[in-house]
Chains A and B, each alone.
Chain A
């Protein structure tokens, strides 16, 4: 059936087509859009959302959700910045531990992984719905960030650390490299490994997966841990780019991330979707943000437009699902 076939192909590429049309329109409307400096700027901004959205995709594929990524991102960035700048001082023990850049980054990454693992543990051990467990973590991690920073930004982190967020490598910004590596690893995980297959199977039918001998709880904990670690990566990138860990960094990032996942065609009920779809979704949101700014659209209207785009994307995706 050639018609059905071409229709299916169209569905597969429609977000790419949408992206192309969006870029085309923006380059006609704004002479600034199609400049190298602007494009790299967009890419750099997008790379944070790509990192956390990759983690979100894995979770959504298991039919879960993670609302805590924004707060976890802020906490991990703050911990990395704090350790790098101040180290750990224990005056009573007459002890001071200094951190190298690598050490501080590892500590941030471990924090993110631990919080993610905690999410997964709470969800699987106590059967708490992911929405609730990660909503709790959203508040907890934000509170911890405030405690750690005392409510003030931690700034002045040194040139080596700034390289992560602002440096260039082989003519491409470092954050873009980082997101490329993250995406490549995630594609490998989902397409080539057992755990990737289990993620799809659990999201598609948890009961059948459990009966097939899959350790469903273990897979879920792993997935939430990965998402936490990727939130940390995002937090370190944001902190480095601004040369400052802001206590209120990452607020509402979970919404942009979920939007990227959904626009990318991943089903919120699990089992269906892809990492590369999410990447497209994140790029569409990023380009849209950038374009609306370039066109001097009021920030209030920007939010309205973004919301409607998300809704439209899901409606189109649903109607494709019916055609399958």
Chain B
């Protein structure tokens, strides 16, 4: 191995989105021939940083020095040509094209006649697959591969270009055992060829095996960087946490505990691979209780809420009861009738009809009640909308305004309003404050607490630890489809929770 040389340096990068500062004065350096681990909680700014390095976000404040010169990546293709490639966590392959066609997509080899040089591309692909020890034909269509194999094809795609810097975003999230070993061999190989690698993973034990350096991001700031050697997992975890939101639930004086929602032995089969997305999940929520559910990406949080709400009747098993009554959850309508409400993670995709007005979105769940003499009563709809616009302080020029024109916080309030209109007993909130500004966040926290005081049982899924600590009475932790920990909020610490959420063993 040659001397350590800085390949890429990031200096004082700040990236703003409307209402959010995603990266705040971040600086770091990446050395050739080394693996740099990028560590941080969900929302710490890792993906934004990766997108800047790979040219997806060409506009930002600050400088990048690449091979000693100021560099500017105008787009992913430009970054690629300059030698920076990224292997995305979500696979970007075209399912019905073959492995060869995917690998050479957009950079096909041509013969002197201008036609595609299939034999040369096929031969090159075969070499790459051999090197990656993937024993399949280059002519196989990608959708026939297992997810892990597809991940390998992604890696092959990155190796095809003469990359100097390879960014790997959770490369082991879809692969197991032997495949991971192959990947690590490849990484060792690449290091020997003096390539630089940025490795993002939640699996700390992996990082200790292959990373040379670490960079910790927190709240969009680079907190610390250094050599992996000599660090312990506990030390790393304590660097990842450290934010505080003042606890809002000062008392847990909710009197006697009356269970409201009981979930027993919930299982959910995976549709893509063998095994379960959820395994034997059992818990309950009391009347007036706020339970926080923490887990890292892919822990099964959203799937848990969806299963309770009846969205996966064919694949799930187990029991859910509200107030001792079993809810026969095979459709959202049944779940709503039983007193459940689900505020989904992606409000634009699953929460709102963006082209409908504020009023019509709010009344969508309770249109049956908006009727008089078989026709919709505009008066009743207006009353309902006015009630929630003032109660939740939804800022909108009028109640006819299309939902798409409102800010994220106000959109989220509309989703909450339409669910509160069903007068639920249990609220399931999936990332209720994602992508909304600080003020709207604190309003939503206060609302959640007010609702709990009225006796609702509330389950809040969040990737933000400080948020969970601030508003919950009790905290459940999930990892890989199982409940792995339970804390009373006043006794919980960020370190403690994070330890339960990070899987140390494969």
A residues bordering B, Cβ < 8 Å? 188, 192-194, 196-198, 200-201, 204-205, 207-215, 271-272
Contacts and interface: CB of A to CB of B under 8 A. Distances in A.
B192 to A, nearest CB: 48
Given A193-B375, A201-B353, A209-B353, A215 B333 contact: yes
B332 A271 contact: no
Contacts of A201: 353, 356, 360, 364
In the A-B complex, the 8 residue pairs with the smallest Cβ-Cβ separation, listed nearest first, are A204-B353, A213-B333, A192-B375, A213-B336, A204-B355, A205-B353, A194-B367, A213-B332
A112 to B, nearest CB: 24
A212 B349 CA distance: 13
Given A192-B376, A204-B355, A209-B353, A197 B360 contact: yes
8 contacts: A192-B376, A197-B360, A197-B376, A204-B354, A204-B355, A211-B350, A213-B336, A213-B422
A212 B355 contact: no
Contact of B364 (A196, A197, A207, A271): A197
Contact of A211 (B342, B356, B376): B342
B221 interface: no
Nearest to B364: A212
A214 B364 CA distance: 9
B368 interface: yes
Given A193-B374, A211-B342, A205 B332 contact: no
Interface string B351-381: 1111110001000110110110011100000
Contacts of A198: 367
A214 to B, nearest CB: 8
Interface in B313-367: 331-333, 335-336, 342, 344, 349-356, 360, 364-365, 367
B482 interface: no
A200 B331 CA distance: 21
Contacts of A197: 360, 364, 367, 376
Nearest to B336: A213
Contacts of A205: 349-350, 352-355
A212 B344 contact: no
B418 interface: yes
A206 to B, nearest CB: 9
Contacts of B364: 197, 201, 209, 212, 214
Contacts of B355: 200, 204-205, 271-272
Pick the most buried of B342, B356, B364, B422: most chain A CB atoms within 10 A of its CB.
B364
Interface of B: 309, 311, 331-333, 335-336, 342, 344, 349-356, 360, 364-365, 367-368, 370-371, 374-376, 418, 422
A204 B357 CA distance: 11
B403 to A, nearest CB: 9
B326 to A, nearest CB: 19
Pick the most buried of A194, A211, A272: most chain B CB atoms within 10 A of its CB.
A211
Contacts of A214: 333, 364
A113 B344 CA distance: 37
Contacts of B351: 208, 211
A209 B309 CA distance: 14
Contacts of A212: 332, 364-365, 418
B356 A207 contact: no
B249 to A, nearest CB: 28
A197 B352 CA distance: 14
B129 to A, nearest CB: 35
Contacts of A193: 374-376
Nearest to B334: A213
A211 B418 contact: no
A204 B402 CA distance: 12
Contacts of A204: 353-356
A186 to B, nearest CB: 14
Contacts of B360: 197, 200-201
Given A197-B360, A208-B351, A209-B353, 8 more contacts: A188-B375, A196-B376, A200-B360, A205-B354, A209-B364, A213-B332, A215-B333, A271-B355
Contacts of A192: 375-376
Contact of A194 (B311, B331, B356, B376): B376
Contacts of B353: 200-201, 204-205, 208-209, 271
A82 B478 CA distance: 68
Pick the most buried of B335, B370, B374, B375: most chain A CB atoms within 10 A of its CB.
B375
Nearest to B422: A213
Given A194-B368, A197-B360, A208 B352 contact: yes
A187 to B, nearest CB: 12
Contacts of B344: 211
Contacts of A194: 367-368, 370-371, 376
B349 to A, nearest CB: 6
A207 B349 contact: yes
A25 to B, nearest CB: 35
A308 B480 CA distance: 57
B308 to A, nearest CB: 13
Nearest to A201: B353
Pick the most buried of B333, B356, B368: most chain A CB atoms within 10 A of its CB.
B356
A210 B370 CA distance: 19
Nearest to A192: B375
A207 B350 contact: yes
A194 B373 CA distance: 12
Contacts of A213: 331-333, 335-336, 365, 422
B273 to A, nearest CB: 22
A168 B311 CA distance: 55
Nearest to A194: B367
A200 B367 CA distance: 13
Contacts of B350: 205, 207-208, 211
B332 A210 contact: yes
